[in-house]
Every structure is written in C-alpha cells, then in structure tokens.
Chains A and B, each alone.
Chain A
Amino acid sequence: MSSIGIVLGFYALSGLTIGAGLLVFLSRNLLHSVIFVILAFIGMAGLFVTLSADFIAVSQILIYAGAISVLLVFAVMLTPYASRDNPNSLFAPAGILIGLGFAGLMGFVGMRVIWPQLTGSDLEAQSFTGTVRSIGSMLLGTYALPFELASVLLLAAFIGAIALVREDEA
C-alpha cells in the first residue's frame, strides 16, 4: 500500500474532501454550499476507489452526486423566500467545538492505536478482481432479509414523500 499513486491519490482526495466540507460550512451562499457538498461527495467516491471499492464508489456518484444533489437543489429552489445566506445559529461556537473535538478524537485514536491490520504481502494476496459479484451473492444470500427490508423502506420513503407534498384536493 505504499505505491506513489495511492499515496498521492489519498492525500489529494482527502484534502479535496475535507476542504470541500469546510467550504460547505464557511460559504455565505446556500447554493455554493450545495456545489461544495457535491464536490465532497465526489472526493469521497475517489477515496472509496483507493480502498478498492469500485462498485461502492460508482454507486456513491450515482446516488449522492447524481440524485441526492438534485434533491438538494430542488429543495433550495422550492423554498424561494428562505434566507440564502447560509447563516449560523447561536449554537454555532458550541457546534464547532463539538465537531473539532470529535474530529480530534477520531484522528488521535486512528493514528495512535496499533491496528492489527494486513500489511505488505498479505495485503497483496487479497486479490480484488471486482467486488460486484461478492456483494451481489451476499445481498441475495446472507443478507437477503435486510435487502428486502431496504426495498420496503424505499417504497415507504417515496410514497411518504409524494403524500407529504401533494396539494390537497379538497
């Protein structure tokens, strides 16, 4: 895991993701925040690629950058008289402190703990010929019940969303 491509890729992509996240917080315009959050999603997809999760990376772009982003822009557009300048509430300093605290904690734990991880030749021995087949067989095998429940959840969500915003025909 020490080849220059993955090192450069990891640092560039994580810089992109964290930078985009910070800009979501700091930008003064709501639509600019949406653009930066799309950039953060794409940066995350790149990080997934460095983790050899090809199917999840492409699904992330398809679902987050392709669909949820459109939902966000539609929501911004359907609330025209709401404030567009992305203000902070009075709880902002506490929120920032909590966020920094959590990030610091996770960073400290991540870097200091000696993880029993695969390194070197053991890592190379895990050949990733593609994750699609394994994910598919597990979704229809071991995890078939959560799969069906997820489809029911999606159905409930979209019926609910339609029922919520339908104009009353009274």
Chain B
Amino acid sequence: MNPLVIGIGHYLAVSGAVFGIGIAIALSKRNAIAVLMGIELMLNAVNLAFLTFSRFGSAFGSEPTAPLAGHVFVVFVLTVAAAEAAAALAMAVLVYRRRETVDLDRINLMRW
C-alpha cells in the first residue's frame, strides 16, 4: 500500500498492533492492575477499528439510515470500559485486603 495515502489498511495495522500489545500485557503480567491496563489498550484498539470503518467504510453501503453508527458503538464501548474498569479495580482492592497481594500467580484458590 502507498505509505503516503492513509487508508483503512494503515489504521487497521495500528489497531492490530495496539491490540497485540494489549494481549501481550494481559497475558504476561503478574499484577492485576497491569492486566487491566492491557485490557484497556485492547478496548482502545477496538475503538480505533470501529472509527476507521465508520470513516472509510461508506463504500460498503450502510450509511443512509444510520450515519455514524460506528461512533455510537464507540460511545458504548467507552461507557462499558469505564464501568468495567471501576468494577475490576474495586475487586482488585478487595482481593488485596483479604490476601495482601494482587499477584495473579498467587491468587489461585480456584485452581484445580
């Protein structure tokens, strides 16, 4: 692709890269809060993909009844991400109070 004409492909590559970094963080880190940061990065990458298709994808022919539907999706993803971050961090603090650690390798009571 032409590196000087920014199109869907470029944005999807960036979105995929950030999503990959988010997966790596979420799977590799021991601290629960770091895992949450990875999850937030993944949600951001998904937002970028939604907005890319909303901007460039009118050629797919879905616009007239719901213009900017991608933006509305992103609003809901932002909302759900905020709610889930609050709940997840509350749970992390609660687990810390009982077990004095947020290390995911040590919170293994439910393992076989």
Contacts and interface: CB of A to CB of B under 8 A. Distances in A.
B80 A10 contact: no
Given A68-B85, A91-B28, A24 B71 contact: no
Contacts of A98: 23-24, 27
A158 to B, nearest CB: 6
Interface residues on A, range: 35 or more
Contacts of B74: 53, 56
A76 B77 CA distance: 24
Interface string B54-87: 1111111000011111011011101111111111
Given A56-B75, A82-B96, A102-B16, A96 B9 contact: no
Interface in A1-58: 1-2, 6-7, 10, 14, 17-18, 21-22, 24-25, 30, 33-34, 37, 40-41, 44, 47-48, 50-53, 55-56
A48 B48 contact: yes
Contacts of B78: 56, 59-60, 63-64
A33 B8 contact: no
B11 A116 contact: no
Interface in A83-135: 83, 86-92, 94-96, 98-107, 109-113, 115-119, 122-123, 126, 131, 134-135
Contacts of B80: 150, 153
Nearest to A54: B71
- Secondary structure dominating the interface of A: helix
A59 B83 CA distance: 15
A35 to B, nearest CB: 11
Given A103-B19, A117-B57, A146-B76, 9 more contacts: A21-B18, A75-B92, A78-B96, A83-B30, A86-B34, A105-B16, A106-B15, A111-B13, A135-B72
Interface of B: 1, 4-31, 33-34, 36-38, 40-41, 44, 47-48, 51-52, 54-60, 65-69, 71-72, 74-76, 78-87, 89-94, 96, 100-105
A135 B68 contact: yes
Contacts of A95: 23-28
Contacts of A59: 75, 78
Given A79-B93, A81-B100, A160-B90, A18 B18 contact: yes
Q: Across chains A and B, which 3 residue pairs bring their CB atoms closest together, nearest first?
A: A106-B16, A103-B20, A99-B24
Contact of A64 (B6, B40, B76, B93): B40
B44 A40 contact: yes
Given A110-B8, A110-B16, A153-B80, A22 B86 contact: no
A75 B68 CA distance: 35
